Copies of this chain bind each other. A is one copy, B any other.
Amino acid sequence: MTTNERVLPEAQCSLRLAAGQDPAKRAQILEGAGRVISRMGYDAASVNDIAREAGVSKGTIYVYFSGKEDLFEGLMEETRERLFRELGDELQRPGQVGERMLSYGGRLVRKLCSDPVVQAHRVMIGVAERMPELGVRFYERGATRGTQLLVDFLTQRVAAGELAIADVRLAASQFSELCMAGLFRRRLFGHLAQPPSEDDIDRTVKAAVDMFLCFYQPQAHGAL
């Protein structure tokens, strides 16, 4: 998939852009829209605000997008791609299970609790009721992606006999949630105003890995 992106960038553009349109300007608009919408939310951000922030005229926006909603869809797509890219080399590198999961968990929490990702989540969740497909797509191509990396990893390690997991998908979810226990939800609500400290992250992820391995490592069960 990443290969395709690199090999056929113009082909991709031609799918979305009418002849004569400038990809750079589209990006510029999306960037401005991202800033304004992150700050104010979809409804409260006016096209005027977006145009001003992006440094283009209002009319230009309607050249690249058919309307505010279309712009928003484009933005969410773009944001999702940008934010959730590269989580996974971590898990494919060689190493012990716990070590790999510690490393991945840290990355995951840091990413998800970062300001841009939290803001994007807020916006997306805020409109999920009105624009269901958008929410679904965001989740599937965003959150699920991380889980899938984990699923693959766990499956490999189960096959290797390093883990004993009946429902790998559930286990992947469990690990993700454990990693962000007490962090991500509080971030969403603003109860945690800043991204958590490295210490907090490390401690939480360590606890997650410990609990996860305690339950899913074969020898642990044996001992019980």
Q: Is A13 an interface residue (CB 8 A)?
A: no
Cross-interface CB contact of A178 among B125, B128, B178, B223, cutoff 8 Å: B178
Q: Is the CB of B173 within 8 A of A182?
A: yes
Stretch at the interface among A1-9, A25-33, A88-96, A134-142: A134-142
Check A136/B214 contact, CB under 8 A, given A181-B177, A207-B167. no
Q: Is the CB of A190 within 8 A of B135?
A: yes
Q: Which residues of B contact A181 (CB under 8 A)?
A: 170, 173-174, 176-177
Q: Is A155 an interface residue (CB 8 A)?
A: no
Q: In the bound complex, how far is the Cα of B207 from the Cα of A78, in angstroms? A: 36
Q: In the bound complex, how far is the Cα of B182 from the Cα of A121, in angstroms? A: 16
Contact code string A190-224 (vs B, CB < 8 Å = 1, else 0): 11010000000001100110111011000011011
Q: In the bound complex, how far is the Cα of B123 from the Cα of A218, in angstroms? A: 43
Q: Is A188 an interface residue (CB 8 A)?
A: yes
Q: Which residues of B contact A40 (CB under 8 A)?
A: 129-130
- The number of times this chain is found in the oligomer is 4
Cross-interface CB contact of A207 among B124, B170, B193, cutoff 8 Å: B170
Q: Which residues of B contact A191 (CB under 8 A)?
A: 135-136, 139-140
Q: Shortest CB–CB separation between residue A123 and chain B, in angstroms?
A: 7
User: Using a CB-CB cutoff of 8 Å, which residues 79-131 of chain A contact chain B?
Assistant: 119, 121-130
Most buried by B among A143, A174, A212: A174
Cross-interface CB contact of A44 among B43, B180, B212, B224, cutoff 8 Å: B43
Q: Is the CB of B174 within 8 A of A211?
A: yes
Q: Is A132 an interface residue (CB 8 A)?
A: yes
Pull 28 A–B residue pairs with CB atoms less than 8 Å apart, ordered by A. A38-B129, A41-B126, A41-B129, A42-B43, A43-B43, A119-B129, A122-B126, A123-B126, A125-B189, A126-B126, A126-B127, A128-B190, A129-B190, A135-B191, A136-B190, A136-B191, A138-B189, A170-B181, A170-B204, A174-B181, A174-B208, A177-B177, A177-B180, A177-B181, A210-B215, A214-B215, A215-B215, A223-B224
9 A-B pairs closest in CB distance: A126-B126, A43-B43, A173-B182, A177-B177, A139-B189, A173-B181, A135-B190, A223-B223, A139-B191
